[in-house]
Amino acid sequence: MESIGVFMPRPTFPYLENELERRFKLFRFWNFAQSDSDSIRALVGNTKIGADAEMIDSLPKLEIVSTFSVGLDKIDLTKCKERGIRVTNTPDVLTDDVADLAVGLALAVLRRICESDRFVKNGLWKKGDFELCTKFSGKAVGIIGLGRIGSAIAKRAAAFGCPVSYHSRSEKPDTGFKYYSNILDLAANSEILIVACALTEETHHIVNRQVIDALGPKGVLINVGRGPHIDEPELVSALIEGRLGGAGLDVFEDEPDVPGELFGLGNVVLLPHVGSDTIETSKAMAELVIENLEAHFLNKPLLTPVI
């Protein structure tokens, strides 16, 4: 397959990049000429850059988009369907890591782990004890989206003795968790609200001012989905004004730009979109990307087809 052209629009996990270069004819965006476009039969995207309509139109021989992510919001699926372009992603292998991080963010915000770390490192412990914080165990946890990741978060929260409820497009059978068809009701009955749904037109800004106010001044918002799930200016103002108790954010609306107003807030924990970024999971995701590409070009069934 060394002659098959694969396009990579931005740097990615080094193992994946090396394997692509070893197995295919890899074209990188930064040394790619438009004259190479006829050689491209596959594109490997990620959470930052996928395949929008303009990019798809610029690659006339494109057959498959294999994204190094579970999210599909950076791919124009409609355009891919029109062109007959196959699309794959990397579900399942990252579920545990993202779920772990969601619980970790909740613990970090409530137990003020980052602040406590700075307290010790800055030598302040010698001047007195750290302030009391809030427990996680037993808190009412609401989850937006009970798919693979949402279900894994629910399982972990339940292990902490947390009553779990959720909101999704429809009620899931036999979950054992309370379902709210109205997201405002979910927020009003949650102490911790975790965003774990896919980003679609329907879920864009699904967490707005009304949802934030329903969660309230003692509530904590955790986002391990996508930045545009939350109306970011409304979140910032709610935190500054004390209408929301705290937030743990792994994703933002305009990454890597993060609202500077959040930097000085002790009740906010910020991460650089690292939900699935462990060595083990990144390698498993990379291998799944490659296996999907190889399956396509060998005319075998795709492992994780989206289209």
Residue 226 annotated among the catalytic residues of the structure: yes
Catalytic residue among 82, 118, 169, 255: 255
Distance between CA 32 and CA 35 in Å, rounded? 8
What does R_g of the chain's alpha carbons equal in angstroms?
21
Sequence-distant (6+) residues with CB within 8 A of 34 are 58
Reading the block at residue 235, the tokens are 């979140």
For tokens 């291998």, name the residue.
Answer: 287
Catalytic residue among 83, 273, 291, 294: 273
Distance between CA 239 and CA 265 in Å, rounded? 8
Sequence-distant (6+) residues with CB within 8 A of 28 are 8, 11
Give the number of other Cβ atoms within 10 Å of residue 66's Cβ.
27
Catalytic residue among 86, 226, 229, 296: 226
Amino acid (1-letter code) at residue 61: K
Phi, psi of 295 (to 5 degrees): -60, -45
Exposed/middle/buried for residue 48 (C-beta within 10 Å: 0-12, 13-18, 19+): middle
Q: Which residues pair with 247 in a beta bridge?
A: 221, 268
- CB of 16 closer than 8 Å to CB of 290: yes
C-alpha 129: how far from its chain's center?
36
Residue 291 annotated among the catalytic residues of the structure: no
8-42: buried (b, 16+ CB within 10 Å) or exposed (e) per residue? Answer: bbeebbeebbebbeeebbbbbeeeeeeeebebbbb
In sequence order, what E strands does 119-249 have?
141-144, 164-167, 178-179, 192-195, 220-223, 246-249
Amino acid (1-letter code) at residue 269: V
Residue 204 annotated among the catalytic residues of the structure: no
Helix (H), strand (E) at residue 23: helix 14-23
> Which positions are catalytic?
226, 255, 273
